[in-house]
Every structure is written in C-alpha cells, then in structure tokens.
Amino acid sequence: MSASTIKLKSDPAVLQVFENYPNTVKQKMHFLRTLVIETAEEMENVASLEETLKWGEPSYVTKHGSTLRMDWKSKTPDQYAMYFQCSSRLVETFQSVFGSTFQYEGKRAIVFDLDQEIPIDALRSCIKATLQYHKVKDLFTLGM
C-alpha cells in the first residue's frame, strides 16, 4: 500500500496541549495523534488534514470528514478518549461493527483505560470512517 502525501496543517497550540498532558498519559496521547495522521496518509481520498484545537482538545478535520477529537481529563485520570460528533452515526456504527472491542461513552466517544492494549486495526477503521464520514454516511456500516 503506497501512502499518499497529505498536507498537514497543524496549529502549534496543539503540540503544547500534548506536552502539557501528565507523564502517565502523554505517550498514549501522542500514539493516538500518530495513528490519526498515519491513517489519514494511507487514505486516497484525504488530501489534507487540519490539526487544531476545538474546545481546547486536539482535533482533526478533513474536507469530507467529521471532526475527530481526543483528550485526557483530570476528572477521569485513568482514562483517555477519542470523541466524535454525537449527532453522527459514527459511535453507534462502531458499536454495531466492533461490539465490545471498545468501551463507549454514549454516542460521543471511545474510551481507553491507561493500561489497555489498543486494538489498532479496529481503531484505524473507526478513524477512516470519521475522516471520510460525509462520503460514507449513507453506507450501511459506513464502508467499514
């Protein structure tokens, strides 16, 4: 599989947020960031990826995608999460396709425990569906 060259537009404030995470979660948040960027690079229909802050959280936006956010919150120090637009079909589709592979928070998030091993292939599928959501939203399982 040949990777495309995407244009990554990154707000420097995002990297500051990553650097300010506690040491217990910093590497895990960087891993999620890398996974999103690498997944976008593998997608033929993603020409650019914007890394920005929305609600103070690292967020990823593409031309035909739904916003994907990620964060760690001090009120749940043993967890971190990827957030999706709750008005989309994303999380309900992830639940339908992957069942108990992930821990979900309503229609808005996939939640990870700090000591959990991430199911990378399944998460990549979720990221791909999110980054191209407006092209796949009418497909039964979002093309997953």
Is residue 57, in this structure, part of any structural domain at all? yes
From the CB of residue 127, how many other CB atoms can be counted at a distance below 10 Å? Answer: 23
Please count the structural domains in the chain. Answer: 1
Looking at residue 93, which CATH number applies to its domain?
A: 3.90.1150.200
Residue ranges making up the domain that contains 25: 7-136
Determine phi and psi for 47, rounding to 5 degrees: -95, -30
Q: Which pLDDT score is estimated for 4?
A: 58
**pTM, entire model:** 0.94
Q: What is the pLDDT of residues 80-111, one digit of tens each?
A: 999 999 999 999 999 999 999 999 999 999 99
Is residue 116, in this structure, part of any structural domain at all? yes
What distance in Å separates the CA atoms of residue 67 and residue 130, rounded to the nearest whole number?
Answer: 7
Is residue 143, in this structure, part of any structural domain at all? no
Is residue 144, in this structure, part of any structural domain at all? no
